[in-house]
Chain A
Amino acid sequence: MQWESVIGLEIHAQLATRSKIFSGAATAYGAEPNTQACAVDLGLPGVLPVLNGAAVRMAVKFGLAIGAKVAPRSVFARKNYFYPDLPKGYQISQYDLPVVSTGRLTIAVDGEEKTIGITRAHLEEDAGKSLHEDFHGFTGIDLNRAGTPLLEIVSEPDLRSAKEAVAYMKKLHALVRYLEICDGNMQEGSFRCDANVSVRPKGQEKFGTRAEIKNLNSFRFVEKAINYEIERQIEILESGGEVVQETRLYDAAKDETRSMRSKEEANDYRYFPDPDLLPLEISRAFIEDVRGELPELPDEKRDRFKLQYGLNEYDAGVLTATRELADYYEAVVKAADSDPKLCANWVMGDLAGALNKAALEIEQSPIEPGRLAGLIRRIADNTISGKIAKQVFEALWESGETADTIIDQQGLRQITDTSAIEAIIDGIIAANPQQVEQYRAGKDKLFGFFVGQAMKATQGKANPAQLNELLRKKLQ
């Protein structure tokens, strides 16, 4: 039997506000436990939530970026459940009237474009953190995170493979960072994902029973967990069993998902409108104001890079994957004032490789755009060869010097003086009469030997194209 998997993702993006969604406590990550949890976050009696305007703005910004409807009126609801890191006994969320609905995002997998529907995005507060390490049989509760604003982004079940799910998640990750509404730090939990996975016989319209996999905090885990889950469900169905609708947890160490909650504790959240909060009304003027703040979005930037810099789809896609990388690239092109393709090759090649090796992000690059541009200018004007450029690149990385200083200090200037190269070639020909004879007798492979000798004599500084041409002429 041929099976088809059906996947929908729920992504929680922590909004990059300074204060919490309903209180004036700070949201900074990594503070001492419970030092950023105020009376509202603790759910003490008599407190009232007041909505953070910046969180609303960010939700609207996201809605506009995915071509969604921004609700003129939306409502906050209480989602009721008991857990120690949720002091009020309910989470303030949105239920039947979310702030953002029916948007879309286009992804590309293996060169194929596909539009993924986004059902809704709603505002809610995060819960605190439970620490299950050994506190002599107790659980420790840190409520610093309680009340941090989240945007929960729910996709349609439009994804058909783990690969598509990852492509969608990456696209969304880039988007929220472009919009500067979320720092996207997955290690700190600022961007996390739950995946709904089911399988059905290919061609069948009705969805199979789904399982929800919780708390996937890296792209790699999303891919592995979904693939594991698809295999697990197919195995059950092929051996005549039935998939149980349940919540499962991905165990990265064992690379498997396992059941998290038993059936008798089936959730019953009893949503109802929160009487402490009035309906959220968003005016046309507010929406237009936010629209005016929208930056160039990833897809627009990619298309502009193709047009303006003559880059191919792949290069433009890589260079616009993050706003920081795109900004870096554009700064290099501007400063180098030469071949944008050559600039792209250096940013995506040697620089990206070196950053990757040093585990640095582009914004932490030891080579500033201006200094990389200085190197590229010297390649473009033939001052140095491509091979020597790699040597200069290393020196740029190690020191704060400019490419010009390094080239001068280390005497790396390319030899383009025809008579100088000719003199060197003459010397090599005179010193190797046997090889010259063999070459002239038809042993073409020896050409490389002469190139090698010439490069050795010039410490790699001879212009390769010029050297080849002159050598060929002299050896005739």
Chain B
Amino acid sequence: MSLTTEDVHKIAWLARLAIDPAKAESYARDLSGILEFVEQMSTVDTSAVPPMAHPLDQAQRLRPDEVVETNQRDRFQAHAPLVEAGLYLVPKVIE
């Protein structure tokens, strides 16, 4: 499978990564190389193998429904660039 530069721009947008347009072509080449490498696995016949959701063959453990966390807002917000009235402030998301 080989990626076009258009694919590279789309993936970068979805991941919110800024890339240098001049490098898009080399990214496309490198990423395609990685995909081709992984693609070798599709030559193995897996028709009799059920799909796996997790590499560990175990089931999810359940937690009792208890409130065990306390309010640590001040500590968490000490790292935030901007807070007001207990809210995290971010650049306006809608007009």
Contacts and interface: CB of A to CB of B under 8 A. Distances in A.
Given A19-B65, A50-B61, A35 B85 contact: no
Given A23-B69, A137-B92, A139-B93, 7 more contacts: A18-B65, A26-B67, A34-B88, A83-B93, A139-B90, A141-B88, A141-B90
A190 B5 CA distance: 44
A131 interface: yes
Given A18-B66, A132-B92, A273 B53 contact: yes
A143 interface: yes
The 3 A-B pairs at the shortest CB distance, nearest first, are namely A53-B62, A140-B87, A24-B68
Interface stretch (A2-10, A276-284, A337-345): A276-284
Contacts of B21: none
Contacts of B63: 24, 50-53
Contacts of A321: none
20 contacts: A18-B67, A19-B69, A25-B69, A32-B86, A37-B73, A37-B76, A38-B69, A38-B72, A39-B72, A52-B62, A52-B63, A54-B64, A54-B65, A75-B53, A132-B94, A135-B84, A140-B89, A278-B53, A278-B59, A279-B54
Given A34-B76, A34-B77, A84-B90, A51 B60 contact: yes
A86 to B, nearest CB: 11
B16 interface: yes
B61 to A, nearest CB: 7
Interface string B15-35: 010000000000000000000
Nearest to A84: B90
Nearest to A137: B92
Given A275-B54, A279-B59, A140 B92 contact: no
A36 B70 CA distance: 8
B43 interface: no
Contacts, number: 124
Interface of A: 17-19, 23-26, 32-39, 42, 44, 50-56, 73, 75, 80, 82-84, 97, 130-132, 135, 137-143, 268, 270, 273, 275, 277-281
A319 B43 CA distance: 64
Given A34-B77, A137-B92, A142-B87, A24 B69 contact: yes
A139 B82 CA distance: 11
B71 interface: yes
B94 to A, nearest CB: 6
Contacts of B56: 278
A99 to B, nearest CB: 11
Nearest to B76: A42
B65 A138 contact: no
A268 B14 contact: yes
A19 B53 CA distance: 26
Contacts of B16: 82
Given A33-B85, A52-B63, A281-B59, A138 B92 contact: yes
B89 to A, nearest CB: 4
A62 to B, nearest CB: 16
B54 A52 contact: no
B58 interface: yes
Nearest to B56: A278
A24 to B, nearest CB: 4
Contact of A141 (B67, B68, B87, B94): B87
B86 A35 contact: yes
A82 B90 CA distance: 13
Contacts of A36: 69, 71
